[in-house]
A and B are shown apart, each in its own frame.
Chain A
């Protein structure tokens, strides 16, 4: 063909564009903004509070970050896939309550209860996914519905069993200590007590990153969120991918529910309610686009780290903890602006 080829159509490289610079390549990564912000916040609180960078301080904010981080990473994947899950927060409470009620209220074996909660979580995730895919309704509405249903059941069920809104006596459940190390344990690292949840957080982030960047499923996640019609046209199983994402989020909700339950030995009916927005904020701060198709698991993990550091940092600094919310709002707006700027820059060059 060398002989017959048409004169190579004038090189398609536009003469106006310079070679991609290293800076642009770095800026193109979704998590860059979050990494810079996380570093700034680490330095800031280290300066204003003596406790912040002590082993016990680090252990505390890492634990806090991990519980939000596991969810944020799952929610980020879902957002990359173009969907939201407002029931994610309530899911952490619902799974914890289910185990608490089943064991203390009905005497079910704790291992069986934990597995039962996983199955229920998978079912709810699948239901969310199927409803969204089948009806074509915005996931915002569908999962808002699931959220309220879960919240209602949480309250009504626990009241029915205990006549009050918190699980009691979970620490006395038989065999509970055989499972506690898996979810609620902690390790001693350099004098700091690091919760097992931090390991779950790291593992989950690593797994999500691997799936997103190096597997076919990950490619599909970006495609269904970025341009659903194109994805369908090239043969990507759109429905399967989205349902899988909702189920992944639900499993993350179960994991965090178990972590909270086994760390504190109690759950309240209101556990997790309101947290769904924090997950979304963490994901957006980590570079996820609200419109889907762009983002990273590492970014969301960094977003959660920012949240965890600030949450504890505000306390260590001796400020009113309500400042946290004002700070979160500012972070969110700043992140959206930075994301937009970075993205237009990355797309234009």
Chain B
């Protein structure tokens, strides 16, 4: 919260800039021609159906996979990352869908799991419990989460709150860019709203956010830039000013499915996400599976 990135104008040098990024697994081209940017204080949404190449794309950003075409530059310097640690060292943290939390452990223990602060000397080092609890509470408060009790098992939190703890944890450990892998996919409407607000909060704190989703209605309210993937190809990279919500939905759903989709959406915007998935899944699966 004290970082200075928040004061940078959004148009500053992008933290992440990918150009014509591509990835081949053997002879299968999982991803081709992806160009986009992630800037401090902006949310770059990556939209696409199952098999569109979203997973491949974020694995490259997260350092888990290496790209085989194009460039991946961080702060203007081209990178060839070999492990997620490389990405983390550059301040790029990924919050995967399973969140890497231990449900039965208290929130504060989960927050510091694997990087526990200690006090004391030599073999008598003990956990700095006060610091851990206080920091957890403060970091969550900074994200706008007011936990009544950081001692409760993290499994007792709602899905949205758990997402937010994982996000706050990544921020605390020095993330400048957060990659969120379908954080709203498993959530209900209200919980999705909670997570979207935290994405906005992270953006306001000056972080760059890569928000992966298949739901244009989740992407639109928080996104500053929209990268659309289809069958492993980029079918567009637009700033919010260059595209309308309707165009975004059209691009996501694709021609024929649109009528049925918008029909459903008008009646019940609640289930839009799942409908999009079902409609879009079939034509894509065969070609783009490798990317998933």
Contact = CB atoms under 8 A, between A and B. Distances in A.
B145 A9 contact: yes
B105 A223 contact: yes
Contact of B109 (A6, A8, A222): A222
Interface stretch (B52-60, B94-102, B178-186, B249-257): B94-102
B197 A9 contact: yes
Interface stretch (A56-64, A231-239, A265-273): A231-239
A223 B205 contact: no
B201 A9 contact: yes
A140 B94 CA distance: 35
Interface in B1-42: 1-2, 6
A348 interface: yes
Interface residues of A, number: 38
B125 interface: yes
A116 B246 CA distance: 77
Interface in A8-29: 8-14, 17, 19-20, 25
Contacts of B103: 226-227, 293, 347
A233 B6 contact: no
B127 A219 contact: yes
A6 B126 contact: no
A5 B204 contact: yes
B161 A227 contact: no
The residue in B160, B161, B164, B204 that gathers the most chain A C-beta atoms within 10 A of its C-beta is B204
A20 B109 CA distance: 18
Contact of B194 (A6, A9, A294, A348): A9
A343 to B, nearest CB: 8
A50 B14 CA distance: 81
Contacts of A349: 156
Interface in A33-72: none
Given A231-B114, A346-B153, A12 B164 contact: yes
Contacts of A214: 126-127, 129
Interface in B63-105: 96, 98-105
A6 B113 contact: no
B146 A13 contact: yes
Given A5-B204, A6-B204, A216-B125, A227 B102 contact: yes
B241 interface: no
Interface residues of B, number: 48
Interface string B222-259: 00000000000000000000000000000000000000
A23 to B, nearest CB: 14
A160 interface: no
A231 B201 contact: no
Given A215-B127, A216-B125, A12 B146 contact: yes
Interface string A212-225: 00111011001100
B181 to A, nearest CB: 12
B209 to A, nearest CB: 13
Given A216-B125, A222-B105, A12 B205 contact: no
Contacts of A219: 105, 109, 112-113, 116, 127
Given A5-B201, A6-B200, A9-B198, A234 B113 contact: yes
Given A6-B201, A14-B158, A346-B153, A216 B105 contact: no
B6 A4 contact: yes
A9 B144 contact: yes
B183 to A, nearest CB: 13
A229 interface: yes
A235 B114 contact: yes
B156 A347 contact: yes
Contacts of A264: none
A289 B102 CA distance: 14
Interface string B150-180: 0111011010110010000000000000000
Given A214-B126, A222-B104, A347-B155, A11 B146 contact: yes
18 contacts: A6-B201, A10-B197, A12-B164, A13-B148, A14-B158, A19-B149, A20-B149, A214-B126, A215-B126, A216-B125, A218-B127, A222-B102, A223-B113, A226-B102, A230-B101, A231-B113, A293-B103, A346-B153
Interface of A: 1, 4-6, 8-14, 17, 19-20, 25, 214-216, 218-219, 222-223, 226-227, 229-231, 233-236, 289, 293-294, 346-349
